[in-house]
Amino acid sequence: MSVEGYRHRRTGTPCQDAWDSAQWRTGEGEDPVVVLAVADGAGSRPRSQEGAQLAVRLATEHFGREAAELRVPAGDAVHGLLHSAFQSVCREFLVAVEQTGARAQDFATTLTVVVITPDWLGHLSVGDGLVIVRAGTDADGAGLFHLLPQAEAASEYSNETVFLTSRDVGRWVRTDCVDDPGIDAVVLSTDGLTQAALTRFQTPNASFLAAVLGPMESPAKDPDDDEAELAELLRSDRLSAVNADDKTLLRAVRV
């Protein structure tokens, strides 16, 4: 779900975040490849909402197709697959933008992608998105959450976010391959939920994450009610008080 932040609600500006998900199969009986993507359009750019929407659509298409068709094993080959898919996304993104006659920078957006196959989880990020996985349990049986590494900032002296349209964007791409069959939940978010999803020590906020994942694992929960409650949470005064940006949360659980 993507919701407009307090600043945009106050000015009547549409949400500039976007998300998409897809399942890919190449043959009957095969477990699907699942692709999850979130994007955060640059608030200062006039067409960043379009840029975010285009980025996640292209990501689910290219990452899903390559992962489903190639079926590479965990390890170095995954990093190569992720970089290859990302290059395809960038090429098609720029072609689509050029056809509008506008500047590429007007569509500036971050991009965070997770690819889930039966054998591994792949992660690629440009910008300041978050990916948290749940794997294993503590002594009390509660799920353990783990923050995947984030992409580096453009410079140690600057906190400016890197975008798909940034110069030399390939230098700032972060990829990871996680080989852990114990992963049973994944959460992606844009930076509007940083303060909610992480503690002040920059570790996963287990209570928040358990709260947003729990309804998906309850067979008695009505999906429409869950969606309405999630929207209410993301727009709540409590979350808006610590971050007024647009907010996107994408959840996946294994059942």
The three-state secondary structure class of 165 is coil
Q: How far apart are CA 90 and CA 131, in angstroms?
A: 21
Q: Are 94 and 86 in contact (CB under 8 A)?
A: no
Structure tokens given for 67: 């992962």
DSSP of 89-135 = HHHHHHHHHHTTTS-GGGG-B-EEEEEE-SS-EEEEEESS-EEEEEE
Query: What pLDDT does 87 receive?
Result: 97
Q: Which helix (H) or strand (E) holds 151?
A: none
Q: What is the pLDDT along the chain (255 residues), one digit of tens a residue?
A: 999 988 888 878 889 999 999 999 877 778 899 999 999 998 888 899 999 999 999 999 999 999 999 999 999 999 999 999 999 999 999 999 999 999 999 999 999 999 999 999 999 999 999 999 999 999 998 899 999 998 876 654 445 689 999 988 988 999 999 999 999 999 999 999 999 999 999 999 999 999 999 999 887 888 889 999 999 999 999 999 999 899 999 999 998
pLDDT in tens, 85-131: 999 999 999 999 999 999 999 999 999 999 999 999 999 999 999 99
User: Counting runs of H as helices and runs of E as strands, what totals does the chain give?
Assistant: 7, 10
Nearest to 132 by CA among 41, 39, 198, 211: 198
Contacts (Cβ under 8 Å, ≥6 apart) of 108: 41, 42, 45, 48, 51, 163, 164, 165, 166
Residue count of the chain, please give it: 255
Nearest to 56 by CA among 42, 79, 36: 36
Q: How far apart are CA 100 and CA 113, in angstroms?
A: 25
The three-state secondary structure class of 136 is strand
Q: How far apart are CA 131 and CA 197, in angstroms?
A: 10
